Structure 1
């Protein structure tokens, strides 16, 4: 039982650590990640849905 509880604690710590690391360090938008001259990434704001979008399917 101790090993099972220890594995749950370790899994929780790894999950929270990975979520924090991805949130703060490794995730970026395509416009930021591919900002060289060879990449064809346009302005990311023109094709986004936006905050005022609503779904007819609720």
Structure 2
């Protein structure tokens, strides 16, 4: 049981660490990532469908 709890705590810590690293370093919004001459990406949220 101790090994299972230790592995769960380790998995949670690893996921939280990966989340911080990915959010700070590697992820950019689509409006910033795809700003080329051929892509027409404007204000994020203005092109969403509403019901």
Q: TM-score, normalised by structure 1?
A: 0.60
Deviation at 1:45, TM superposition (A): 6.0
Say what the alpha-carbon RMSD is for the aligned residues.
2.2
Number of residue-to-residue matches in the alignment: 47
Q: TM-score, normalised by structure 2?
A: 0.65
Would you identify which runs of 4 or more consecutive aligned residues in structure 1 move more than 2 Å? none
CA-to-aligned-CA distance 1:17-53 (integer Å, 9 cap, x gap): 12202221222111111011121112x1672xxxxxx
**Which structure dedicates a bigger proportion of its chain to helix?**
2
Q: How does 1:1-58 map to 2 (within 5 A)?
A: 1-42=1-42, 44=43, 47=46
Which segments of 5 or more consecutive residues in structure 2 lack a partner in the other structure?
Answer: 47-51
Mapped partners of 2:44, 2:6: distance in 1: 45
